[in-house]
Amino acid sequence: MNVAVPTEDKQMQDIIEKVRSGERLSREDGEFLYSSDDLLTIGQLANEVNMKKNGRKVYFIENMSLYFTNVCEAHCAFCNFRKDEGEEGSYTLSGAEMIAYVEQHFHPGVREFHIVGGHNPHVPFQYYVDSLKALHERFPEVTLKAYTAAEIDFFSRISGLSYREVLEELMKAGLKSLTGGGAEILSDEYRKKMRVEKADVSQYLEVHRTAHNLGLRTHTTMLYGSVEKHADRINHMLQIRELQDETNGFLVFIPLSMQPISPRAGIRRRNSAFEDLKTIAISRLMLDNFQHIKAYFINIGTQLTQVSLTMGASDVHGTILKERISHAAGALTPEGITREDLIWLVKGAGRIPIERDTFYNEVKVYE
């Protein structure tokens, strides 16, 4: 398969040759790709890589997003989900309350609970353990993909336990995988500017390293589109790539397009479609040791997600059911999507929808 759009740019030609020969792209290559406006060549090259790895298969899961608490000690500049204790709209659910909520919306096809929330210092670590345990005992067939690396670091601080001990306690309660959030941009300078009052770069990476060494496969993200430079995004990918070389514990990389604080914000306050597609494609090219790159329809919309399937993405996330964090920050997309619509979306891109479990085992193929 050849790139259909010819290019006379020597550096782009060199990158094409590197990719086709299986040579790893460098920091300079990644920064060049971001500086280029040749989206078609970048996208088609990423498509070549994805087709070699996954063929025409595109994965999704029947899942539910759950949020036990929105009370948070951190004040990250980009977050509109968090609340202070006692503030209007703040909540902290018990296990029984969450089970009641799930039972209202649950159906037998749900395979995963995606659980994240605030860093609530007004409850002990045991609360977070018991929250998982209650769900696991009521819905033992559903995989618990719970908490970010930043939450694990927070649990370590409030409990006095090591990362390993925190994870072992959560695994006893039913934890099977970590979510990818809390990465934002892996740059201490960025985290200072954006008031990321939670796990720093080394702590984020160490939590995932520890989880991988305990046998947990995890997810990882990059929240792009605010104050960071393109070089910061590439550096983020390189740090994740290096840890993947070491542990091979990541299942998927998820570029998350930053949302403005207000849903009424105009298009100039949002990432462009061009930037979103380029970031997905560059992620596919840089992260040669990742099997999957996810297009997150909550942040980029369903139609752009469909286009991304020809530019390196092999996963469209899942049904979700009432996503809250991106929508609190101004996302204009649906809060969830049906299995039928996901299948239609994937087929519309000329791909084969594959319903999966948390670990990318195939559950059903929709030819």
DSSP 92: B
- Supply the DSSP string of 298-348, one letter for each residue: HHH-HHHHHHHTTTT--EEEE--SS--HHHHTT--S-S---HHHHHHHHHH
Binding-site residue ranges for [4Fe-4S] cluster: 72, 76, 79
8 A C-beta contact, residue 118 and residue 70: yes
Query: Cα–Cα distance between 331 and 319 in angstroms, integer?
Result: 16
Let me know how long the chain is. 367
Q: Which amino acid, residue 357? A: D
CB atoms within 10 A of CB 160: 9
Nearest to 347 by CA among 321, 313, 319, 309: 309
Q: Which amino acid, residue 153? A: D
- As to burial, measured by CB atoms within 10 angstroms (0-12 exposed, 13-18 middle, 19+ buried), residue 143 is buried
CA 355 from chain center: how many Å? 18
Nearest to 352 by CA among 51, 73, 40: 51
- Supply the DSSP string of 18-83, one letter for each residue: HHHTTPPPPHHHHHHHHH---HHHHHHHHHHHHHHHHTTEEEEE-EEEE-SB-B-S---TT-SS-B
Residues whose CB falls within 8 Å of the CB of residue 104, separated by 6 or more in sequence, listed in order: none
Calculate ∠ Cα 141-143-149, nearest 5°.
160
Residue 309, both tokens: 């399937």
